[in-house]
Copies of this chain bind each other. A is one copy, B any other.
């Protein structure tokens, strides 16, 4: 029986966490935190029994997730309901244990289920593209050469309302302290996504853009 409340997303057989459930949650804030921590997601959809997984940029307003959806155009031409699974994954480090079996990865991953729709109203599309630009580069939209009607038309924006969602997180050292005497190095190798110094194209005298923390850590 689906269960939902203010703090958690509903759970069905689709989203129930089957493995390492101690690492998992359906809590809204935990799901949002992972979705918002990376600008990149992988969207899964089905065309005639064939799964497709497409990387794209996403942004979120409440329980609605938006993404660039051009490569899904064939998908949206199907007459049936457009079920999607949108997954965001951050790798925080490699976990080296004393046995191969206990090797692992520290990660945060959110898996979100829903039905995809396409924005068609030009004003809604423009508002959404502005929200994306501001989400990535705060304050940038109003400084840009204004968007044209043709550009809005040429940009596909898809969205889904989160129907179900789960999040999984692994952190900490290897889980093999019981055999800590085994004579091999064990520990963590942290992994970070780092933004390097911007490389200007054109006039270097314009003020540098503001980069959202979503994009990566600064050097």
Contact = CB atoms under 8 A, between A and B. Distances in A.
Nearest to A96: B209
A138 interface: no
Interface residues of A, number: 91
A191 B216 contact: yes
Contacts of A200: 185-187
A25 interface: no
B201 A174 contact: yes
Contacts of A11: none
B101 A147 contact: yes
Interface of A: 14, 18-19, 40, 42-46, 49-55, 57, 70-71, 73-74, 83-87, 89, 91, 93-94, 96, 98-101, 103, 105, 107, 109, 111, 113, 129-130, 133, 136-137, 140-141, 143-148, 151, 154-155, 173-174, 177, 179-180, 182-203, 206-209, 211, 215-216
